[in-house]
Chain A
Amino acid sequence: AQSVAQPEDQVNVAEGNPLTVKCTYSVSGNPYLFWYVQYPNRGLQFLLKYITGDNLVKGSYGFEAEFNKSQTSFHLKKPSALVSDSALYFCAVRDLLNRDDKIIFGKGTRLHILP
């Protein structure tokens, strides 16, 4: 069965520093991977997705994520953090091989950008 893990409940980064939010996954076949962000009292907003192709995916608000098949990871990154990036970030995965499987979301990582 597929699974996704976000090993950090919270990440603190100083404004202007690079940020990384970690995500690892487990699937039987090839993964479809997604990152979503949730601001307070709002729904989830799509940031980016990896389906196939270039391992570096660029998304909204200056975010990017790198697909690493050997490490089964899909970490979210941004070169220079903004205070407005503070939010809850979710990684999600679907399994290409098992199409009956549903999208699975990680528990979320709360990102705090310190001014």
Chain B
Amino acid sequence: DSGVTQTPKHLITATGQRVTLRCSPRSGDLSVYWYQQSLDQGLQFLIQYYNGEERAKGNILERFSAQQFPDLHSELNLSSLELGDSALYFCASSLNGGYTDTQYFGPGTRLTVL
């Protein structure tokens, strides 16, 4: 158990809908990362937050947004969902968001868009 928690475990929704994925980092970690894992694209970095502020952006679509709250938990919002958004979404956390930090991953949220 990495200490990173993600809810919900599974999410089934329809195209065009909006969902929110939640992540709580390990105790003491200030940085949160979001990843999307799909069969065709592999593991793709989406976005990173450090202590409430956006630090780095990856291949995140404009329909997606995220934020990190003062208690350091993070939410990833996915809107206008498409079939291709079906994937596993992972949150990871690290101590300082530093370049050589080890990232610890949560168990993931499996999103199915019908």
The interface of chain A, by Cβ under 8 A from chain B, is 32, 34, 36, 41-46, 49, 51, 90, 94, 96, 99-100, 102-108
Task: State whether the Cβ of B50 lies closer than 8 Å to any Cβ in chain A.
Answer: no
User: In the bound complex, do residue B100 and residue A44 qualify as a contact, i.e. CB atoms below 8 Å apart?
Assistant: no
Chain B residues near A103 (CB-CB < 8 A): 45, 103
Residue of B nearest to A48 (CB): B102
User: In the bound complex, do residue B100 and residue A32 qualify as a contact, i.e. CB atoms below 8 Å apart?
Assistant: yes
User: In the bound complex, do residue A105 and residue B108 qualify as a contact, i.e. CB atoms below 8 Å apart?
Assistant: no
User: In the bound complex, do residue A43 and residue B105 qualify as a contact, i.e. CB atoms below 8 Å apart?
Assistant: yes
Residue of B nearest to A36 (CB): B105
User: In the bound complex, do residue A90 and residue B43 qualify as a contact, i.e. CB atoms below 8 Å apart?
Assistant: yes
Of B100, B104, B107, the residue contacting A46 (CB under 8 A) is B104
Interchain nearest-CB distance for A31 vs B (Å): 11
Residue of B nearest to A43 (CB): B105
Chain A residues near B108 (CB-CB < 8 A): 42-43
User: In the bound complex, do residue A102 and residue B2 qualify as a contact, i.e. CB atoms below 8 Å apart?
Assistant: no
User: Taking each of B56, B99, B102, which has the highest tally of chain A beta carbons within 10 Å of its own beta carbon?
Assistant: B99
- Per the bound structure, the CA–CA distance linking A34 and B103 in Å amounts to 10
User: In the bound complex, do residue A108 and residue B42 qualify as a contact, i.e. CB atoms below 8 Å apart?
Assistant: yes
Number of interface residues of B (CB under 8 A): 19
Interchain nearest-CB distance for B94 vs A (Å): 10
User: In the bound complex, do residue B99 and residue A49 qualify as a contact, i.e. CB atoms below 8 Å apart?
Assistant: no
Chain A residues near B43 (CB-CB < 8 A): 44, 90, 105, 108
Of A41, A99, A108, the residue contacting B99 (CB under 8 A) is A99
- Per the bound structure, the CA–CA distance linking A89 and B100 in Å amounts to 20
Chain B residues near A99 (CB-CB < 8 A): 99
Of A45, A96, A106, the residue contacting B105 (CB under 8 A) is A45
User: In the bound complex, do residue A94 and residue B102 qualify as a contact, i.e. CB atoms below 8 Å apart?
Assistant: no
Interchain nearest-CB distance for B43 vs A (Å): 4
Chain B residues near A41 (CB-CB < 8 A): 107
A-B pairs, 9 with minimum CB distance: A43-B105, A105-B43, A44-B105, A107-B42, A43-B107, A102-B45, A46-B102, A102-B58, A51-B100
